[in-house]
Chains A and B, each alone.
Chain A
């Protein structure tokens, strides 16, 4: 079965700092990869996704993520964070070839951006 590891549990940054949140998955086959975000008091929403093609994907609000197959990683990046990026971020994976077609989520990273 697939699993997802997010090693940064709580990240505190100042506004305008650069962000990189780590995500590693374990699954030997082809995968679909996602980042979801949960802003305070709001529903979980999709930030970006990767299915195939260009391993660098761009999402909403200036976020991007890079799929590195050899490292089983899908790290989330943003060049300059804003206070409004304060939220919890979840990486998720599904197998694209076979197996369970429901998202497996990581434990989440809480990002706190200080003004």
Chain B
């Protein structure tokens, strides 16, 4: 069954701690994306990767880091520099990074601060 798998579903972060959110896709898509969803603010782009070994900052990249060492994986690290990390994080992929392809979304990770 092809799709995008995000884990964990729920994650708790202590002050000063870095945490990593996993995103794996078996769709053979070139492009992958991370969005943050806050109530009333829609989805805001954190980072995106149009191809393996390359990624670009989105609108709210501060306090986050990513890697794209494998085509199927695009993990997101929420660092201690992110002062307001509590949010719902969505990973997505598309066949290419041209901006005209349908996005496939994962089921999301809810991150909360202890």
Report which A residues bind B (CB closer than 8 A): 1, 4, 6, 9, 32, 36, 43-46, 49, 51, 90, 94-96, 100-108
Residues of A within 8 A of B44 (CB): 105
Contact B105 A103 (CB under 8 A): no
Give the one of B35, B40, B43, B50 with max A CB within 10 A: B43
Give me 9 other A-B pairs in contact (C-beta within 8 A), A43-B105, A44-B90, A102-B45 excluded. A4-B42, A9-B40, A32-B100, A44-B92, A45-B105, A46-B102, A102-B56, A102-B58, A107-B41
Residues of B within 8 A of A104 (CB): 45, 59
| B53-88 contact mask (Cβ, 8 Å, vs A): 1 or 0 | 000101100000000000000000000000000000
Contact B99 A102 (CB under 8 A): yes
Report which B residues bind A (CB closer than 8 A): 33, 35, 40-45, 48, 50, 56, 58-59, 90, 92, 97-100, 102-103, 105-107
Q: Closest Cβ of chain A: how far from B24's Cβ, in Å?
A: 15
Contacts A/B (CB < 8 Å), 19 sampled = A4-B42, A9-B40, A44-B103, A44-B105, A46-B102, A49-B102, A94-B99, A94-B100, A95-B99, A96-B99, A96-B100, A100-B56, A100-B99, A101-B50, A104-B45, A105-B42, A105-B43, A105-B44, A107-B42
Residues of B within 8 A of A36 (CB): 103
Residues of A within 8 A of B56 (CB): 100, 102
Residues of B within 8 A of A90 (CB): 42-43
Distance A9 CA – B33 CA, assembled complex (angstroms): 25
Q: Which 8 residue pairs across A and B have the least CB separation, nearest first? A: A101-B99, A94-B99, A107-B42, A105-B43, A44-B105, A102-B48, A108-B42, A105-B42
Give the one of B48, B105, B107 with max A CB within 10 A: B105
Distance A46 CA – B101 CA, assembled complex (angstroms): 10
- Considering the complex, give the chain A residue whose CB is closest to the CB of B33: A102
